[in-house]
């Protein structure tokens, strides 16, 4: 055998010994698809019908294996590291897809803290598919690693450098959209407007890599200062002269509010929404086409408050966590500039969706979060009646007109029986788990309807002109793969009306002072703010005027792949997209031109600034009873004495009380303050520090700020 033949033979043997790397990569991709899709059958089907795309996913994993091998110098270590990370994200994606109908996306990494509160509902994720998948992974991986022909398991630095360069080249040509484009070679299209279909078509790992670029949005064509100022000046003002009245404007986003009585095959023992139906027959009502299903409340809220549209952002992104890091003009700042008191109310954690910072950037003066509510629960969440109470108290606390934006939580996912103490509405026409979910949903909707009734009843008697806007953010997630919707016959296989059925939410606009008039509403959430400002005869901004004008011809903006079907001109939306880009990512040219003031320097979290006005100490056996009086003391406030927290209760007079040991007081004067903490044990707000001196009267006591 000649030297050339021998060299070729040796090279072939070395190459053959490395072929298991590609086999390992294919195996990891397949298991990731099983976990992401939640089904063995669908995963097998995709594997054998999408071989070019499977190959691209495998090359991506191979690139990661080579990179980790170059770093660790161990093929086995790199295999376990890469497979663990990929399978972990695949599992997370499968869980998210089954609950919310949207897979895991790169920007979800920014939401890890929010998901902690939802983990109580994920106990059922370890089903047969997941357990069998992990068992198969461990068994077959051991066979692949230890039973197939051995490859070089530890490498010298020359091999590591070669592997590192090869991995970098491979990963770049997969990610890149330039001249060398492997995705184009196998006809891969990033279906950015439908991430669920994106994952099903292109595989989870490749889709994730393609979505990384959406973390960085490209500047739209034609964006510059001149074009923005021209667009901002082009809109005709919706309100040329403000009306004589300045009505309260109360906007309520009701969690998962939807009307299940429209499902023809279902019968309810009583109407879960009698008051809503009564009002909808008399006042302006209709639907909005939500950008969300089953979750993502903050994105609907984002559209309503700012007028910006999720249609110009990556599907599955969350602006509150990703983009709102500066002042963004909103209904709150627009109305605050007109003398309104602006309040945001949300019966959930103050850290959720970065709310503390976002509401400040939107120009709210005050944000009342869960930490400042009375602990009045219906199921696992604060009751809707508590939100109505906060709304009424906030409007009564201000001398003038109010803009109040409120969320609810009582009807939040999940909908399995047992969520509430009792389901009082029987649903027939569907059986099994779906029957239970519809009955639980109906119970939650009863709370929403009662909340609406309490608000309307209060403001009917009020002499303050008031507008109440009440709407749902998205349809409730009723089981995996739209289970209850399918079982009830509402959602058909390959339903041609899927978008309208699964993304249309109810909308109602009530008032206590305008002449009788009824609009049939049909719009996207981003157009709701301009509509309400015009109804209230309040001057808007250049942006709301532009949106009001656009809404006359294009009131609903669907996903991009439905533009042709719904007769939407993409060209007509380019101005909207440029204005939005200027606000969120650009130089805010239009803001500077108009010198808009947005953020309130006196922004507070809570019902008002937390103040301790008086402290009283009384004997209580061998201990001392500390009574703290002040302003805006919440039920969940914690008294601190000399920097130490003490067990705190709230009495009927709204005072905070605590029983303490005399030694804790130390040498007088002692320092007393009230602290409010969130679920992470982080301080949300703290009061002034009050120096108590025993034996002096209240006038002599000092307050240390």
Collapsed DSSP state (helix, strand, coil) of residue 577: helix
Residues 155, 259 within the same domain: no
Are residues 161 and 294 part of one domain? no
Distance from C-alpha of 313 to C-alpha of 324, rounded to nearest angstrom:
13
User: Using an 8 Å Cβ cutoff, are 235 and 548 in contact?
Assistant: yes
Do the domain assignments include residue 520?
Answer: yes
In the predicted model, what is the mean pLDDT of residues 229-252? Answer: 96
Decide if 239 is inside a domain: no
The CA-atom distances, in angstroms, between 611 and each of 159, 464, 506, 630 are 67, 29, 41, 5
Confidence of residue 116 (pLDDT cuts 50, 70, 90): low
pLDDT at 513 over 70: yes
Q: Which 3-state string (H, E, C) describes 44-60? A: HHHHHHCHHHHHHHHHH
Q: Which residues of 367-398 are buried (b: 16+ CB within 10 A; e: fewer)?
A: bbbbbbbeeeebbebbbbbbbbbbbbebbeeb
The enclosing domain of 462 has a CATH number of 3.40.720.10
Of 119-123, 327-331, 398-402, 677-681, which gets the smallest average pLDDT? 119-123
Strands 466-472 and 248-254: parallel
Please give the average per-residue pLDDT across 669-678, as a whole number. Answer: 94
> Based on the structure, what is the number of domains in the chain?
3
Which H/E stretch holds residue 36?
A: helix 3-37
List, for residues 13-59, the tens digit of each pLDDT value: 444 445 567 778 888 898 889 888 888 888 888 988 888 899 888 88
Q: How confident is the model at residue 190 (pLDDT cuts 50, 70, 90)?
A: confident
Most trustworthy range by pLDDT among 15-19, 209-213, 450-454:
450-454
In a domain, 230, yes or no: no
Structure tokens at 372: 């400042």
- In the predicted model, what is the mean pLDDT of residues 316-342? 93
- Judge contact between 271 and 277, C-beta under 8 A: yes
| Confidence (pLDDT) at 121 | 43
Question: Considering the chain, what is the average pLDDT of its residues?
Answer: 88
Provide the pLDDT for residue 115.
Answer: 53
pLDDT over 80 at 692, yes or no: yes
Q: Has residue 5 been placed in a domain? A: no
> Residue 123's pLDDT is what?
52
369 pLDDT tier (thresholds 50, 70, 90):
very high
In a domain, 338, yes or no: yes
List the one residue out of 615, 611, 655 whose CA is nearest residue 635: 655
Are residues 103 and 171 located together in one domain of the fold?
Answer: yes
Residue 233 lies in a domain: no
Which residues form the domain of 646? Answer: 609-704
pLDDT for 558-610, tens place per residue?
999 899 999 999 999 999 999 999 999 999 999 998 899 999 999 999 999 99
CB count, 10 Å around CB of 300?
24
542 and 641 in one domain?
Answer: no
Say what the pLDDT of residue 7 is. 47
238 belongs to a structural domain: no
More reliable by pLDDT, 13 or 181: 181
| 186-190, 405-409, 656-660, 700-704: segment of lowest average pLDDT | 700-704
pLDDT, tens only, 477-510: 999 889 999 999 999 999 999 999 999 999 999 9
**Which pTM does this prediction carry?**
0.82
List the beta bridge partners of residue 620. 623
Domain match, 585 and 630 both = no
Torsion angle of alpha carbons 600, 603, 608, 611, nearest 10°? Answer: -120
Query: Is the separation of the CB atoms in 312 and 581 below 8 Å?
Result: yes
Percent of the chain at pLDDT exceeding 90: 61
pLDDT for position 697 = 40
Same domain for 550 and 501: yes
Q: Span 386-390, mean pLDDT? A: 98
pLDDT band at 699; cut points 50, 70, 90: very low
pLDDT, position 9: 44
Does 457 share its domain with 364?
yes
Q: What is the pLDDT of residue 198?
A: 85
Residue 195 has a pLDDT of 79
Residue 612 predicted with pLDDT over 90? yes
- The verdict on 143 and 266 lying in the same domain is no
Whether 221 maps to a domain, the answer reads no
pLDDT at 21: 73
Asked, as a colleague might, if the bond just before 560 is cis with ω within 30 of 0, I would say no
Domain match, 416 and 537 both: yes
Give the CA distances from residue 570 to residues 199, 411, 576, in Å, rounded to whole numbers and listed in that order: 25, 36, 10
Judgement on whether residues 675 and 543 belong to the same structural domain of the protein: no
3-state SS class at 436: helix
Query: What are the beta bridge partners of residue 199?
Result: none
Same domain, 171 and 251: no
Query: Which band of pLDDT confidence, cut at 50, 70 and 90, is reported for residue 155?
Result: low
pLDDT of residue 399: 92
Domain identity same for 271 and 346: yes
pLDDT, tens digit, 9 for 90 and up, residues 261-318:
999 999 999 999 999 999 999 999 999 999 999 999 999 999 999 999 999 998 778 8
| pLDDT at residue 314, as a whole number | 83
Give CA–CA dist 607/604, Å, rounded: 8
Burial of 680 (0-12, 13-18, 19+ CB in 10 A): exposed
Asked if 94 contacts 198 with a C-beta cutoff of 8 angstroms, the reply is: no
Q: What is the predicted pLDDT for the residue at 179?
A: 64
Q: Which one of 587, 604, 621 terminates a domain?
A: 604
To the nearest whole percent, how much of the chain has pLDDT over 70? 89
- Using the 3D structure, point to which of 215, 231, 259 is the last residue of a domain: 215
Nearest residue to 211 via CA among 197, 195, 224, 200 = 195
Sheet of strand 623-631: strand arrangement? 611-620, 623-631, 656-660, 649-650
Pick from 151, 128, 132: which is nearest to 140 by CA? 132
User: Quick one: pLDDT band at residue 700, thresholds 50, 70, 90?
Assistant: very low
pLDDT given for residue 128 in this prediction: 66
Question: Any idea what the CATH number is for the domain that residue 671 is in?
Answer: 2.60.40.10
Nearest to 363 by CA among 391, 344, 387: 344
Task: Calculate the alpha carbon distances from 624 to 44, 103, 499, 637, 672 in Å.
Answer: 71, 56, 63, 19, 14
Whether the CB-CB separation of 291 and 311 falls below 8 Å is answered with: yes
Residue 218: the pLDDT is 83
If pLDDT is split at 50, 70 and 90, which confidence band does 120 have?
Answer: very low
């Amino acid at each position: 055998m000649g030297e050339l033949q021998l060299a070729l033979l040796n090279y072939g043997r070395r190459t053959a010994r490395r072929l298991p790397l590609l086999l390992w990569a294919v195996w990891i991709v397949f298991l990731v698809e099983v976990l992401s899709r939640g089904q063995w059958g669908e995963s097998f089907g995709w594997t054998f019908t999408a071989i070019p795309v499977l190959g691209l996913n495998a090359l991506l994993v191979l690139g990661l294996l080579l990179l980790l091998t170059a770093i660790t110098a161990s093929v086995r270590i790199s295999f376990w590291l890469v497979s663990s990370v990929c399978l972990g994200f695949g599992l997370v994606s499968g869980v998210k897809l089954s609950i919310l109908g949207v897979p895991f996306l790169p920007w979800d990494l920014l939401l890890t803290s929010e998901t902690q509160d939802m983990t109580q509902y994920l106990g059922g994720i370890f089903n047969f598919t997941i357990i069998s998948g992990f068992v198969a992974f461990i068994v077959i991986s051991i066979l692949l690693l230890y039973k197939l022909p051995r490859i070089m398991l530890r490498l010298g630095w020359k091999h590591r450098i070669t592997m590192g360069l090869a991995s970098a080249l491979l990963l770049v040509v997969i990610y890149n959209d330039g001249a060398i484009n492997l995705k184009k070679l196998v006809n891969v299209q990033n279906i950015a407007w439908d991430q669920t279909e994106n994952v099903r078509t292109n595989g989870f790992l490749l889709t994730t890599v393609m979505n990384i670029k959406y973390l960085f949005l490209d500047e739209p064509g034609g964006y510059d200062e001149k074009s923005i100022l021209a667009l901002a000046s082009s809109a005709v003002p919706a309100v040329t002269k403000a009306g004589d009245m300045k009505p309260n404007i109360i906007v309520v986003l009701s969690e998962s509010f939807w009307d299940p009585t429209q499902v023809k095959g279902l019968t309810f023992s009583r109407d879960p929404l009698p008051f809503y139906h009564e009002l909808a027959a008399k006042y302006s009502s209709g639907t909005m086409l939500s950008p969300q299903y089953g979750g993502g409340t903050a994105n609907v809220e984002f559209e309503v408050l700012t007028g910006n549209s999720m249609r110009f952002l990556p599907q599955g992104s969350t602006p509150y966590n990703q983009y709102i890091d500066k002042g963004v003009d909103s209904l709150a700042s627009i109305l605050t500039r007109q003398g309104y008191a602006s309040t945001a109310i949300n019966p959930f954690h103050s850290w959720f969706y970065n709310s503390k910072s976002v509401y400040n950037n939107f120009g709210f003066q005050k944000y009342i979060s869960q930490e400042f509510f009375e602990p009045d629960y219906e199921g696992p969440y604060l009751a809707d009646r508590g939100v109505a109470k906060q709304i009424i108290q906030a409007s009564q606390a201000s001398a003038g007109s109010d803009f109040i934006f409120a969320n609810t939580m009582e009807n939040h996912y999940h909908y399995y029986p047992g969520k509430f103490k009792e389901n009082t509405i029987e649903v027939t026409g569907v059986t099994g788990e779906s029957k239970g979910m519809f009955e639980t949903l109906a119970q939650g909707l009863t709370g929403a309807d009662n909340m609406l009734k309490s608000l309307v009843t209060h403001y009917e008697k009020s002499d303050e002109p008031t507008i109440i806007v009440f709407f749902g953010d998205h349809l409730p997630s009723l089981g995996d793969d739209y289970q209850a919707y399918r079982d009830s016959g509402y959602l058909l296989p390959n339903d041609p009306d899927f978008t309208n059925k699964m993304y249309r939410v109810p909308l109602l606009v009530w008032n206590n002072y305008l002449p009788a008039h009824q609009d049939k509403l049909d719009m996207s959430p981003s157009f709701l703010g301009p509509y309400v400002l015009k109804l209230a005869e309040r001057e808007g901004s250049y942006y709301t005027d532009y949106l009001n004008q656009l809404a006359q011809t294009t009131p609903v903006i669907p996903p991009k792949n439905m533009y042709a079907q719904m007769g939407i001109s993409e060209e007509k939306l380019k101005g909207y997209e440029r204005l939005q880009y200027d606000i969120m990512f650009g130089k805010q040219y239009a803001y500077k031109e108009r010198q808009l003031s947005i953020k309130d320097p006196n922004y507070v979290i809570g019902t008002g600034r937390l103040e301790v006005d008086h402290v009283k100490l009384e004997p209580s056996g061998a201990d001392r009873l500390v009574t703290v009086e002040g302003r805006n003391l919440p039920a969940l406030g914690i008294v601190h004495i000399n920097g130490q927290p003490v067990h705190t209760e709230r009495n009927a007079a709204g005072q905070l009380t605590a029983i303490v040991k005399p030694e804790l007081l130390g040498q007088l004067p002692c320092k007393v303050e009230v602290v409010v903490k969130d679920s992470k044990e982080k301080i949300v707000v703290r009061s002034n520090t009050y120096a108590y001196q025993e034996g002096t009267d209240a006038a002599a006591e000092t307050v240390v700020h």
